[in-house]
Amino acid sequence: MRAWIAMLGVLGTAGCDDLGDAEPCDGYGGGTIPSCNDVPELCSSPVTSTVLQPDLERAIDIVFVGDGFTEAELPAYRDRVDDLIHRLRSIDDYVASHPIRFNFHRVDVISPTSHLTNGDRTDTALGGCVRRDSHSGDWWLDSDGGLISLAAHRAPDADVVVDLMNLDGGRPNADPGTGPMVPSTVGNAAPIIPRTVRISLEDGGETVLHELGHALFGLADEYSEGGEYHPAWAFSTDGDPLVQPNVTLDRHGRKWRALVDGAEEGGLRYDEGVYHPGRSCRMRNATEPFCPVCKDRIQHVLDAFAQPLANDGPPRCAIYLSQRPDQVTGALSAAVIGYDENVAVLGSLRLDDELVLDGTRGTSPRSFELFAVTQVIDTTALANGAHAFVARCLDGTGLVSEVSVTITIAN
């Protein structure tokens, strides 16, 4: 499962903390976004904004929300957020070097309790809890994306949400969400979950910059935690199935040759089988500056926010399968991955001309976009023999790309 998640690039982490006798999350949250009628207190939460770029289409709006802070603890939450914003604006990195490009918003969410490690999603405002990682044994911070979306909607705009959880410990992480805070520029977007960074009280500005590297700029982790990377079966319109700019399956690093010569093994939390640019980097160690490859991507995205929508060619489109295609049995996970440098993307997947997966993904049309949706298919309901998958990706300028693969079912 870890290889599948890493291949999609849907989650990034940094740091590691022990929470002792914590109880794991009770189920999963964030499948739907409630209405203000369901949770009226979230829709009346006060908002404090620092707006340096009034054109919200050209600004990058970072919204802070808090979970597990009671009314008596709100002053501590406000102080911590103010300190994090100060750190982001003072560390020599992309926020400090582009000060008028970033707006900050703080939503004062009140929780009935501060219980974030008891497994109960119902006793804090945003469904906060911790989840045990089966590979590393670490406790990962978690919360309900639907509730976060509703709370963040109080801000004038939200390109990414930082969920500050009121506990000391837990592994911070970034989640790409399921789309924009406003309707997508393509298709008929359903209500969405915003890009979200989850941090604890222990995490500083450097860690937030690392996690925003995932959430805003599509960067991968470059550090290693053991094991060999075995990619899922991938079929792509591009030669490298890893869409993140700072990792590759190519040991020569041809992907970034114009910026860095060579590659070093390790990345996506693996020691072997995947490669990163081979220099110190904030995506490898949060206390280090970004490497040239990551700096290039960050600048590209910042430029895309500031400039009119550009037609840079059709999106990359890929199918990822959880099994090798020539001998498929039982349950098969099939994912469509669409990626474009600066416009929103939607994708669909057909099996033998029947639509089996559809969805939308996107934020501002001036940001890179990654569309990733997975469908589990019960192949025992299909006849043995050859079947054809076709993935179709459409970007915000109307350009289309397709990729196909034939599978052989052998139940």
pLDDT at 187: 31
DSSP class of 213: H
Does position 9 have pLDDT exceeding 90, yes or no?
A: no
pTM for the structure as a whole: 0.83
Query: What CA–CA distance (Å, rounded) separates 410 from 282?
Result: 45
Nearest CA among 235, 162, 218, 214 for reference residue 369: 218
Q: What is the pLDDT of residue 308?
A: 60
Query: Can you give the pLDDT at residue 137?
Result: 80
**Overall average pLDDT of the 366-383 stretch:** 75
Res. 33 pLDDT band, cuts 50 70 90: confident
The first and second tokens of residue 128, run together, are 């906060």
Beta bridge partners of 348: 358, 392
| Mean pLDDT across the chain | 83
Residue 125: both structure tokens together: 């405002």
| Cα separation values, 358 from 189, 355, 371, 403, 409, Å | 11, 7, 11, 15, 23
Over residues 249-259, mean pLDDT: 93
pLDDT at 96: 94
Per-residue pLDDT at 114 exceeds 90: yes
What is the pLDDT, as a whole number, of residue 31? Answer: 59
- Same topology, domains 14-215 and 316-409? Answer is no
Domain spanning 316-409: CATH superfamily? Immunoglobulins (2.60.40.10)
Quote the pLDDT of residue 195: 86
Q: For 61-70, 298-307, 352-361, which range has the lowest pLDDT when averaged over its residues? A: 352-361
The pLDDT value recorded for residue 231 is: 65
Q: Has residue 206 got a pLDDT over 80?
A: yes
On whether the 14-215 domain is CATH 3.40.390.10, my answer is: yes
**pLDDT tier at 29, thresholds 50, 70, 90:** low
Give me the mean pLDDT over the 317-331 stretch: 89
Taking alpha carbons only, the member of 319, 371, 372 closest to residue 350 is: 319
Q: How confident is the model at residue 12 (pLDDT cuts 50, 70, 90)?
A: low
Per residue in 228-245, pLDDT (tens digit) is: 776 667 777 766 778 789
> Domain extents for the chain?
14-215, 233-306, 316-409
Return the pLDDT at 147: 92
Cα distances from 314 to residues 205, 310, 372, in angstroms, run 36, 11, 17
The per-residue pLDDT for 363 is 40
